[in-house]
Each structure stands twice: as C-alpha cells, then as structure tokens.
Amino acid sequence: MISPDHPDIPRRYEALYQRVRAQGVEQWLKENLEGPSLEGLIYLCKFAFFTALITKAEIGSILELDAGERRQLVKSWYDDHREKGCGTC
C-alpha cells in the first residue's frame, strides 16, 4: 500500500477525481470527499471502481498494492456493500 505521506498522493488523487468528473458523477461523492490524502484516494478508488470507471488492476497501480492486498481491499468493499447496501461509497 502506498504510504500516507507519499508525495504522489495529491497528483493521483487529482487525476482520479478528474476521471470521475469527466463522467459527470462527481456530485454523488462531494459529501464524502476528504481531499488529497490516502483515505481520500482510497475512497475515490472505491467510488470509481463501483461506478466502473477503473479496473482492479488500476486500483493496484494507484494504491501500489500487490495482488493479495488488492484482492483483500476489493473484497472488503464488496463485504461492506453487502452489509450496508448501496451508498457506502
């Protein structure tokens, strides 16, 4: 996992936010958007994944996850979604 103080987080956050914005769905995440932090980047990855804007491979690349870490993170998102329903992003 990318470290919380990694200097590339703001750039990755902004690039992903612009992809979300380009699809016109940013209004769905404004209330929960945390800004360019590791938590914010993870949240954007989750949102972008569940809105089919990025793939699992892209999640791994953005967050610097190995296959096992990526699988565990995405599984936790699905588990959260099953438990709490849509709107967990």
Task: Identify the pLDDT of residue 28.
Answer: 76
- Given phi > 0 = left and psi -120 to 50 = alpha, else beta, which region is 36? beta
Q: Which long-range contacts (CB under 8 A, 24 or more apart) does 70-78 make?
A: 73/42, 74/49, 77/46, 77/49, 77/50
Domain ranges in the chain are: 9-84
Q: pLDDT for 52-68, tens place per residue?
A: 999 999 999 999 999 99
The pLDDT, as a whole number, for residue 35 is 77
pTM: 0.84
**Over the stretch 1-37, which tens digit does the pLDDT of each residue have?**
999 999 999 999 999 999 998 988 777 776 666 778 8
Q: According to the model, what pLDDT value does residue 22 have? A: 92
Task: Inform me whether the pLDDT recorded for 43 exceeds 70.
Answer: yes
